[in-house]
Structure 1
Amino acid sequence: MMTVDLEISGAPARPAELSFTRTVERALVHRTSVAEVFVTDVQQAEPQRVLAGAQLPLSHGYYNDHLGGPPRFDPLLILEAGRQAGIAGGHLLGFPPDTIMMVDSFELDISDVPALRIGHLPGELLIDSRFDATRMRRGRVRQGVVRQDLRLGTGHLGTHSMRVQIVSREELAALRTVVRGSPAPTTRDMTDVDDLLQASPAMVGRVNPLNVVLAQVERGARAAQAVVRPRFGNRSLFDHDYDHLPAMALTEAARQLALVACGDEHAWPATLTGEFRRFAELDLPVRASAVCTELDPAGRPTRTGVAVSFYQDGSMIARSTLVMVHDD
């Protein structure tokens, strides 16, 4: 159990306990596989505030598949845990079971990167979420912001925020059909085959080819471009059927392309942002480009900024920024 001191609406602090003994029901975080559920407890602390606990695994086929350096909890694992806590918290606050939280944008800032180093025990992540409705319609929340404070063990790790749209599954299906003019194909319809032009795992900081999401990589001077080509057999990125490339797949593509552009497969993202303007359709190629900027004015660079843009059918559909740290 983790004990958290709460100060609610100016009242004296009181303790709240979060359990890390078992994961929550997988439907509560919209996962199919129990192995992909990281939230272990969720409790309402205030009318628009929810506390969640998440256990970070010591070994995972996707999140722990990295080259070299001291083993760390993946920042994208922190991002996924925060996303799951936001979904579970929304349901706890009254969102119907068929609700989908579509992420328009997110910001993750890891202020204590060394705290991500893995020890002998799984990580215990506390996620303190505050929900703000920004648009209502007929008494229902349609858009909102989730702001999260992150604590790993006893120390402050960083912050995470998401701007989301709230829709039902039926509304989303109708919207997708109207925009496309026909129903969208799903990942169930896609064949999981090796791409002969897939990036080598070592180029993108991976060991397992199943975790590579880039193909046709071209590296320039502090820049790179590629086609986003994930493996649909990767059940961490595609835990259930999608009719588009999900935000987490594009974020992984941004991370991998940043490693290529920086020329350092051992770097780690300390800051991550994502903005998603349109759905990344499955039946059209998605191309990505990255440009690096040194953030340290002199001496050996320890931080590199990377801007990544995603294009489909001639239009920008998403973009991401990363601050990569070179912490040996």
Structure 2
Amino acid sequence: MTELAERTEVRTAVADPATAISRLAFDRTVARGEVHREALSEVFLTDSVRVDESRFVAAARLPASHAYYGDHTGGTPIDPLLLLECCRQAETHAVHAHFGAPRDTKFVLQSWSLTMHPLPANVHIGPAEVVISAHTDEAVWRAGELRAMRYRMQVYVAGRHAADVVMRVQYCPDELYRLMRGRCHDGRVPSSDDFRFTTTEVAPGLVGRDRPENVVLTDARVGADRVSARLRIDGGHPSLFDHAQDHVPGMVLMEAGRQLAVLAASTAHGTPADAVEVTGLNAAFGAYAELDTPITVSTDGAAVGSDLLVCFEQEGRVLVEAGFTCLPRNPNTDQGAK
């Protein structure tokens, strides 16, 4: 085995959750490679402590400002997708640090869900400390290596319970992953570095954004009972494509779903984009979203105050079905009214 493929040393368990949390450090981020990131600005996880064989706690820091996660016309103090990214980094780090997965293990997302909880508007957010309490189950081990796990995470921001996240992930040896992906493309695997788009026909304000570069939809079409758009892939985006990918990451798809939900509210129902808050999501991933074929994102355009089912299709095949909870923004909290 190469050095990168060697099993990482599993950290010693603490056994007591309170003690584990007290040992969490926030003064520096973990190594970029431990959360599969290239840019330091995209690393939010600062520490992780194992409680026992099925539990761990993790720490993260929300940035005071961020060109992507902080770009919202409604002035959202906490971006739900930022908390989801913190949980993704906690899961990725834990697989190596606590469960001994080799460094080159590939991660295959099966499903995830996020539910935000309202916080008082006077709670100071950004920069803020995040604590994640994670319980794992449904583990699948083969020949001593982890192949699948479910994670149930409670997320606390500035000491307040801010969100709950559940995710299911499968793990694949690097050689098997490369073989599988190569077969799908006749030996030639595309790279996101080859896809650089700088313009979109969708105005940023219609999807709750200020910066055009953060819009991931194009060719939007609004009908009486359906809103659809094409996914805009910009492999040069510093956050959505922090490093080269051979497929469209799940976080990019979730951003597209969120933007389509806001677009449906603002165009089909006349609700201003900055008055809509996406406070929850759940998604099941059935196939890889390929880079080199158009992806259509669509919803029936249900009204604000209900869950929108967003469908992602490519070449007639459903890749992902995701639900997004859209609520009118409540000025008394930093999440929508309930």
TM norm structure 1: 0.88
Question: Hey, what does 2:112 align to over in structure 1?
Answer: 106
- Is the contact made by 1:133 and 1:141 (CA closer than 8 Å) also made in structure 2? no
Supply the distance in 1 between the matched residues of 2:140 and 2:166 (Cα, whole angstroms): 17
Choose which of 124, 131, 134 in structure 2 pairs with 1:129: 134
Question: Hey, what does 1:194 align to over in structure 2?
Answer: 198
Supply the distance in 2 between the matched residues of 1:120 and 1:145 (Cα, whole angstroms): 29
Within a 5 Å distance, the mapping from 1:262-281 to structure 2 comes to 262-263=265-266, 264-266=272-274, 267-281=276-290
- Is the contact made by 1:115 and 1:152 (CA closer than 8 Å) also made in structure 2? no
Question: Hey, what does 1:209 align to over in structure 2?
Answer: 212
Supply the distance in 2 between the matched residues of 1:228 and 1:164 (Cα, whole angstroms): 24
The offset of 1:194, in angstroms, is 2.7
Choose which of 316, 319, 329 in structure 2 pairs with 1:317: 319
Within a 5 Å distance, the mapping from 1:27-176 to structure 2 comes to 27-68=33-74, 70-93=75-98, 94-112=100-118, 114=119, 119=124, 121-176=126-181
The offset of 1:117, in angstroms, is 7.3
The offset of 1:13, in angstroms, is 5.7
RMSD: 2.1
AA aligned opposite 2:129: E
Q: Does 1:233 align with 2:239?
A: no
* Greater CA drift, 217-226 or 31-40: 217-226
Supply the distance in 1 between the matched residues of 2:300 and 2:125 (Cα, whole angstroms): 37
Choose which of 290, 296, 300 in structure 2 pairs with 1:287: 296
Supply the distance in 1 between the matched residues of 2:147 and 2:121 (Cα, whole angstroms): 35
Q: Runs (4+) of structure 1 moved beyond 4 Å? A: 11-15, 115-118
AA aligned opposite 1:154: G
Question: Hey, what does 2:8 align to over in structure 1?
Answer: none
Specify every segment of 5 or more residues in structure 1 that has no aligned partner in the other structure, as ranges: 1-6, 295-300
- Is the contact made by 1:72 and 1:118 (CA closer than 8 Å) also made in structure 2? no
Supply the distance in 2 between the matched residues of 1:179 and 1:233 (Cα, whole angstroms): 24
The offset of 1:122, in angstroms, is 0.8
| Matched-pair identity in % | 34
- Is the contact made by 1:58 and 1:118 (CA closer than 8 Å) also made in structure 2? no
Q: Structure 2 vs 1, CA of residues 17 and 139 (structure 1 numbering), >3 Å: closer, same or farther?
A: closer
The offset of 1:270, in angstroms, is 1.1
Larger % of strand: which? Answer: 1
Supply the distance in 2 between the matched residues of 1:23 and 1:116 (Cα, whole angstroms): 28
AA aligned opposite 1:145: R
The offset of 1:22, in angstroms, is 1.0
User: For 1:89-142, what per-residue CA distance to the aligned partner results, in whole angstroms no more than 9, with x for missing partners?
Assistant: 111121111122221110111122x35877365121111112224433222221
Specify every segment of 5 or more residues in structure 2 that has no aligned partner in the other structure, as ranges: 1-13, 267-271, 332-338
